[in-house]
C-alpha cells in the first residue's frame, strides 16, 4: 500500500469529475440530459478499454457471469446520471454537488433494506445528521415552489438532483452485489456500455445536433468521465477505502471555485451550512467504518493460531 499515491489519484479523479460536470453544465442550455448521458458514456468507453488493455485486464473486463446484474446497475446508474445532469441545468454547481452527497448516506439505508447489512445506532444517527443537512439545502428551494417561474424551476432542480442521489445510492447497492462475483474491470466496462445503450431510449425526446463548441465539450466530458473512473478505481489499489474516501469532499471546494469563476454562482449561507452537516456525517461514517475494520482485523488476528 502507498497511501500518498492513492490519495493523489483520488484527488485527481475528484478534479476530473468536477471538470466533467462543469462541461455538462455549460452545454445544458443546448443539449438535453439523455443526450449528455450518451456522450458521457460513449466517449468514456475508449478510455476504459485502453486502461483495461494497459492492465492486461481486457478479458476480465469483458467476461461476466451476471449480465442481468450489470443491466440493472446500468439502468439505475444511467438514471442517476440523467437526473444529475438535468439538475446541473437548473441549479448552481455547488448546490448540485452538496445535494449529491446524500447518495452515500442513502446507500447505508438501502444496504440495510436490500442487503441485510447491520446498521447500528451510530450510523443511524450520522445518516440522520446528514439528511438534516440535505433538508437544510433543499428547504429554500421547496418553499419557493410557488414563487413564480424561477422559484418553480429551482424547486424542480432540487427535487431532480435529490432523485438522482437516490438512484446513485441504489446503483451502489447493485455494485455491492456485483463485486461478490464480478471483477471491477467488468463492472466499470459494462456500466459504460449499458449507460450508452440505455441513453438511446431518450432519442425521441428532443435530441439535438450540437454546435461544434458544444459537441467538443460533450466529447471532452465523456473522455474526462472515463479518465475519472480509471483514476478512482486505481486509487483504491494503493490505499484503503477509509483513507481515500474522505477526499471525495474536496469536490465541494472545487465546485465552489468553478461555480464562482466560470458560472458567476455565489452559494448562500444556507447551502454552505447544509453542506457542512452532510460532509460531517459522511466523514463520521467513513471514520466509524475504518474503526470497525481495524477491530475486525484485530479479532481475526487474535483467533489465528500462533506458533
The three grid cell numbers given for residue 30, joined into one nine-digit string: 443546448
pLDDT tens per residue, range 179-194? 888 888 889 899 999 9
Q: Which domain holds residue 284?
A: 3-303
Whether the CA torsion 53, 241, 259, 126 is positive or negative: it is: positive
Using CA atoms, how far apart are residues 185 and 70, in angstroms rounded to an integer? 12
Q: Give the CA-trace dihedral at 263, 79, 236, 299, to 10 degrees.
A: 130
Using CA atoms, how far apart are residues 224 and 39, in angstroms rounded to an integer? 11
List all residues 6 or more positions away from 291 whose beta carbon is below 8 Å from its beta carbon: none
Tens-digit pLDDT string for the chain (307 aa): 678 898 899 999 999 999 999 999 999 999 999 999 999 999 999 999 999 999 888 887 788 999 999 999 999 999 999 999 999 999 999 999 999 999 988 998 898 888 887 778 888 899 999 999 999 999 887 776 555 555 678 889 999 999 999 999 999 999 988 988 888 888 989 999 999 999 999 999 889 999 999 999 999 999 999 999 999 988 888 877 777 888 889 999 999 999 999 999 988 999 999 999 999 998 888 887 777 666 666 766 665 555 4
> What region does 85 belong to: left with phi over 0, alpha with psi -120 to 50, or beta?
alpha
pLDDT tens per residue, range 12-62? 999 999 999 999 999 999 999 999 999 999 999 999 999 999 988 888 778
Question: What does each C-alpha distance from 268 to 29, 103, 222 come to in angstroms?
Answer: 23, 22, 31
Asked whether the beta carbons of 7 and 243 are under 8 A apart, the reply is yes
Count how many domains the chain has.
1
Q: What are phi and psi of 28, to 5 degrees?
A: -65, -25
Amino acid at each position: 500500500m502507498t497511501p500518498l499515491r492513492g490519495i493523489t489519484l483520488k484527488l485527481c479523479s475528484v478534479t476530473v469529475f468536477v471538470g466533467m460536470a462543469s462541461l455538462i453544465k455549460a452545454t445544458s442550455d443546448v443539449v438535453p440530459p439523455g443526450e449528455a448521458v450518451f456522450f458521457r458514456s460513449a466517449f468514456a468507453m475508449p478510455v476504459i478499454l485502453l486502461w483495461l488493455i494497459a492492465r492486461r485486464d481486457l478479458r476480465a473486463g469483458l467476461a461476466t457471469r451476471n449480465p442481468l446484474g450489470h443491466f440493472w446497475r446500468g439502468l439505475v446508474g444511467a438514471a442517476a446520471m440523467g437526473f444529475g445532469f438535468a439538475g446541473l441545468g437548473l441549479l448552481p454547481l455547488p448546490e448540485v454537488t452538496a445535494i449529491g452527497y446524500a447518495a452515500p448516506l442513502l446507500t447505508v439505508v438501502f444496504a440495510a433494506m436490500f442487503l441485510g447489512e447491520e446498521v447500528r445506532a451510530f450510523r443511524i444517527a450520522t445518516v440522520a445528521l446528514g439528511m438534516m443537512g440535505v433538508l437544510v439545502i433543499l428547504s429554500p428551494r421547496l418553499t419557493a415552489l410557488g414563487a413564480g417561474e424561477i422559484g418553480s424551476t429551482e424547486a424542480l432542480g432540487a427535487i431532480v438532483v435529490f432523485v438522482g442521489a437516490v438512484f446513485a445510492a441504489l446503483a451502489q447497492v447493485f455494485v455491492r452485489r456485483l463485486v461478490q462475483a464480478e471483477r471491477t474491470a467488468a463492472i466499470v466496462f459494462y456500466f459504460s456500455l449499458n449507460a450508452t445503450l440505455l441513453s438511446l431510449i431518450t432519442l425521441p425526446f428532443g435530441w439535438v445536433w450540437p454546435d461544434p463548441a458544444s459537441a467538443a465539450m460533450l466529447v471532452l466530458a465523456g473522455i474526462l468521465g472515463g479518465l475519472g473512473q480509471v483514476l478512482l478505481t486505481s486509487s483504491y489499489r494503493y490505499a484503503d477505502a477509509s483513507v481515500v474516501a474522505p477526499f471525495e469532499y474536496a469536490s465541494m471546494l472545487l465546485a465552489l471555485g468553478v461555480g464562482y469563476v466560470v458560472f458567476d454562482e455565489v452559494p448562500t449561507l444556507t447551502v454552505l451550512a447544509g453542506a457542512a452537516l452532510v460532509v460531517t456525517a459522511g466523514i463520521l461514517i467513513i471514520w466509524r467504518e475504518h474503526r470497525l475494520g481495524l477491530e475486525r482485523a484485530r479479532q481475526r488476528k487474535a483467533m489465528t493460531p500462533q506458533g
